[in-house]
């Protein structure tokens, strides 16, 4: 294991024995194919703001800010806030529009609130595709607060619905995908090891499927661009997959039976077929049940690899009991930031332990004082005056310790992203995204090509998992 860089390892929540997996399905966008995130999202942002400007919205002067939003945040559509919650759903950080709320404001607004993602009020930002609309929403909340007229909307909820609708249209109308297809080299980050990783799995006896919500024309163009160059002469990306399913309409794909069509021609002509998959064919639509019938196995033998925490991982796990792998590209930057901060982190933990000791001492002294004042317990021969003096002294030490802790804690909270910090942490706790990831992703890793380091027979064993009473390791 030591030979594999941390940033490229596969991390395991639930033990996954690849030998017991007979088929692996892959999502395409941001899974098999990684886009230059800032370039893509900037393009998406400009399409959406232009579409809104055409309807009279004041979006022509707005500028995309890639640091404004990270995956795993939640939009509170009733208040116009973007929030970051911990694993229990308690909100710890919030921006109203683009303004950071103070600790007190967060407490006043949310001390009685626990995020429940099944409520419409909360919109979870599931993928990197969410960054541009999250950013635009925050900026338009500012505009709304300034009293700028936003045609057709009069509340933060309506504003969110409008931004989402416009984003969806930009994707559906294909303008954006047209841009990408016309110059894929500007948008796609190539990775030569992905093809080898897939070949490893294929020759290791796994059936491979591509299951994407993208349409055939786009899928063919992107897959061909990203894979054909790394395969031998006369081979194409199609040789890597036993079955290709486009227009999959995930999460519905995992949740209910859907009509199945075969893609009959290269330009995407569809024809209806019987409900059965056959090797070497390309389909449009269909569902997870068809995949299991085709393989003759149940969900435990199928692994699905995707980047969308809800559509790819949550639903496939909850409904089909498929094994799941989440692709979290940001992990690479985050691990680098964590590694660079290691020395300071060790110092911060040491300071926090000292601070804890002082806090405990204060609490004990206050209890002694109370016993002395009320004459109960056995506080010993010590005088009230002595206890008060000691208490004052320890409080001074506490203040001095805080002065050392605060700047380091601030730095720790801004790792990887100055506004929101690490993806999987909320303060010292796990983030809400980390909780989702633990529940629904059996394994997670930064990119598909990391399977290259493991091969098709790997036994990915979960770690023991820590509990608060474990011996201290921090
Ligand atoms: Mg995807």
Q: Give the distance (Å) from ligand 1 centre to CA of residue 308.
A: 6
If one counts every other C-beta atom within 10 angstroms of the C-beta of residue 338, the result is 17
pLDDT at 146: 95
What is the token pair recorded at 202? 């294929």
Bridge partners, 459 (sequence order): 17
Q: Give the distance (Å) from ligand 1 centre to CA of residue 319.
A: 19
173, pLDDT greater than 90: no
pLDDT top residue among 310 and 16: 16
> Into which CATH architecture does domain 6-31+188-333 fall?
3-Layer(aba) Sandwich (3.40)
Distance CA 443, CA 450 (A): 12
250, pLDDT greater than 80: yes
Q: Which residue has the tokens 């059936």?
A: 207
In this prediction, residue 311 has a pLDDT band, given cuts at 50, 70 and 90, of confident
CA–CA distances in Å: residue 372 to residues 367, 368, 380, 384, 390:
9, 6, 9, 7, 15
Mean pLDDT of 311-334: 91
pLDDT top residue among 378 and 236: 236
Mean pLDDT of 161-172: 84
pLDDT at 262: 97
Mean pLDDT of 159-180: 85
- When the pLDDT of each residue in the chain is averaged and rounded to a whole number, the result is 93
Q: Give the distance (Å) from ligand 1 centre to CA of residue 446.
A: 13
Distance CA 360, CA 338 (A): 29
Mean pLDDT of 27-37: 96
By CB atoms closer than 10 A (0-12, 13-18, 19+), residue 100 is exposed
pLDDT at 184: 96
Q: Give the distance (Å) from ligand 1 centre to CA of residue 30.
A: 5
Mean pLDDT of 83-110: 97
pLDDT at 473: 55
Bridge partners, 211 (sequence order): 245
Q: Give the distance (Å) from ligand 1 centre to CA of residue 263.
A: 21
In this prediction, residue 3 has a pLDDT band, given cuts at 50, 70 and 90, of confident
pLDDT at 471: 82
For the chain, percent of residues with pLDDT exceeding 90: 85
Q: Give the list of residues 6+ apart from residue 284 with CB closer than 8 angstroms, or none.
A: 215, 216, 245, 246, 247, 260, 261, 262, 263, 270
Q: Give the distance (Å) from ligand 1 centre to CA of residue 90.
A: 28
Mean pLDDT of 143-165: 94
247, pLDDT greater than 80: yes
In this prediction, residue 73 has a pLDDT band, given cuts at 50, 70 and 90, of very high
Distance CA 19, CA 204 (A): 9
What is the token pair recorded at 292? 């299991």
CB 146 within 8 A of CB 120: no
Mean pLDDT of 330-336: 96
Q: Give the distance (Å) from ligand 1 centre to CA of residue 196.
A: 20
By CB atoms closer than 10 A (0-12, 13-18, 19+), residue 66 is middle
In this prediction, residue 378 has a pLDDT band, given cuts at 50, 70 and 90, of confident
Q: Give the distance (Å) from ligand 1 centre to CA of residue 441.
A: 15
pLDDT at 384: 93
Q: Give the distance (Å) from ligand 1 centre to CA of residue 312.
A: 8
Distance CA 304, CA 35 (A): 20
Q: Give the distance (Å) from ligand 1 centre to CA of residue 307.
A: 5
Distance CA 9, CA 28 (A): 20
Q: Which residue has the tokens 């964590």?
A: 338
Extents of the domains making up the chain:
6-31+188-333, 37-182, 342-414
Q: Give the distance (Å) from ligand 1 centre to CA of residue 238.
A: 19
By CB atoms closer than 10 A (0-12, 13-18, 19+), residue 161 is middle
In this prediction, residue 298 has a pLDDT band, given cuts at 50, 70 and 90, of confident
171, pLDDT greater than 80: no
Q: Give the distance (Å) from ligand 1 centre to CA of residue 251.
A: 12
HEC letters along the chain? CCCCCHHHCEEECCCEEHHHCCEEEECCECCCEEECHHHHHHHHHHHHHHHHHHCCCCCCCCCCCCCCCCCCCEEECCCCEEEEEECCCEEEEEEECCEECCHHHHHHHHCCCECCCCCCCEEECCCCCHHHHHHHHHHHHHHHHCCCCCCCCCCHHHHHHHHHHHHHHHHHCCHHHHHHHHCHHHHEECCHHHHHHHHHHHHCCCEEEEECCCCHHHHHHHHHHHHHHHCCCCCCHHHHCCEEEECCCCCHHHHCCCCEEEECCCCCCEEECCCCCCCCCEEEECCHHHHHHHHCCCHHHEEEEECCHHHHHHHHHHHHCCEEEEECCCHHHHHHHHHHCHHHHHHHHHHHHHHHHHHHHHHHHHHHHHHHHHCCCCCCCCCHHHHHHHHHHHHHHHHHHHHHHHHHHHHHHCCCCCCCCCCCEECCEEEHHHHHHHHHCCEEECCHHHHHHCCCCCEECCCCCCCCCCCCCC
The angle subtended at Cα 142 by Cα 138 and Cα 145, nearest 5°, is 135
Chain segment 432-469, per-residue pLDDT in tens: 999 999 999 999 999 999 999 999 999 999 988 888 88
52, pLDDT greater than 60: yes
Distance CA 394, CA 358 (A): 7
Chain segment 382-437, per-residue pLDDT in tens: 899 999 999 999 999 999 999 999 999 999 999 999 999 999 999 889 999 999 99
Q: Give the distance (Å) from ligand 1 centre to CA of residue 165.
A: 19
pLDDT at 2: 57
CA–CA distances in Å: residue 420 to residues 140, 264, 363, 423, 426:
20, 47, 33, 8, 9
pLDDT at 377: 87
Distance CA 431, CA 124 (A): 13
């Amino acid at each position: 294991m030591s030979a594999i860089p941390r940033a490229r390892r596969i991390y395991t929540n639930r033990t996954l024995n690849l030998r017991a997996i007979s088929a692996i399905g892959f999502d395409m966008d941001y899974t098999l194919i990684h886009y230059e995130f800032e370039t893509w999202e900037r393009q998406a942002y400009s399409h959406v703001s232009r579409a809104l400007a055409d309807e009279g919205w004041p979006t022509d002067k707005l500028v995309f800010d890639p640091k404004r939003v990270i995956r795993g945040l939640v939009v509170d559509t009733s208040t116009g806030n973007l929030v970051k919650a911990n694993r229990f759903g308690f909100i710890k950080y919030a921006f109203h529009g683009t303004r950071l709320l103070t600790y007190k404001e967060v407490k006043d607004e949310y001390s009685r609130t626990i995020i429940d993602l099944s409520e419409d009020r909360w919109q979870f930002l599931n993928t990197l595709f969410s960054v541009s609309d999250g950013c635009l929403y925050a900026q338009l909340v500012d505009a709304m607060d300034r009293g700028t007229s936003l045609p057709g909307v009069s509340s933060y909820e309506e504003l969110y619905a409008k931004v989402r609708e416009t984003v969806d249209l930009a994707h559906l109308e294909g303008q954006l995908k047209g841009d990408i297809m016309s110059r894929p080299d500007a948008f796609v980050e190539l990775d030569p090891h992905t093809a080898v990783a897939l070949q490893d799995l294929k020759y290791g006896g796994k059936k491979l499927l591509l299951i994407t919500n993208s349409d055939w024309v786009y899928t063919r163009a992107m897959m061909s661009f990203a894979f054909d160059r790394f395969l031998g002469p006369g081979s194409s990306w199609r040789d890597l997959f036993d079955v290709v399913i486009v227009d999959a309409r995930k999460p519905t794909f995992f949740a209910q039976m859907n009509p199945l069509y075969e893609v009959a021609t290269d330009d995407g002509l569809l024809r209806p077929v019987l409900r059965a998959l056959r090797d070497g064919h390309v389909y449009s639509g269909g569902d997870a049940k068809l995949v299991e019938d085709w393989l003759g196995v149940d969900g435990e033998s199928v692994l699905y690899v995707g980047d969308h925490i809800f559509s790819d991982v949550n639903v496939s796990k909850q409904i089909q009991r498929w094994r799941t792998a989440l692709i979290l590209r940001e992990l690479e930057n985050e691990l680098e930031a964590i590694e660079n901060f290691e020395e300071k982190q060790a110092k911060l933990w040491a300071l926090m332990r000292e601070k804890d000791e002082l806090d405990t001492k204060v609490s004990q002294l206050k209890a002694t004082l109370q016993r002395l004042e009320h004459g109960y317990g056995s506080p010993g021969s010590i005088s009230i005056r002595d206890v008060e003096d000691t208490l004052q002294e320890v409080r001074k030490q506490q203040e001095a310790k805080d002065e050392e802790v605060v700047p380091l804690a601030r730095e720790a909270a801004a790792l990887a992203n100055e506004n929101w910090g690490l993806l999987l942490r909320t303060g010292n706790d796990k983030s809400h995204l980390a909780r989702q990831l633990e529940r629904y992703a059996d394994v997670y890793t930064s990119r598909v090509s990391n399977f290259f380091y493991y091969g098709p027979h790997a036994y990915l064993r979960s770690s023991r998992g820590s509990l608060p009473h474990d011996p201290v390791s921090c």
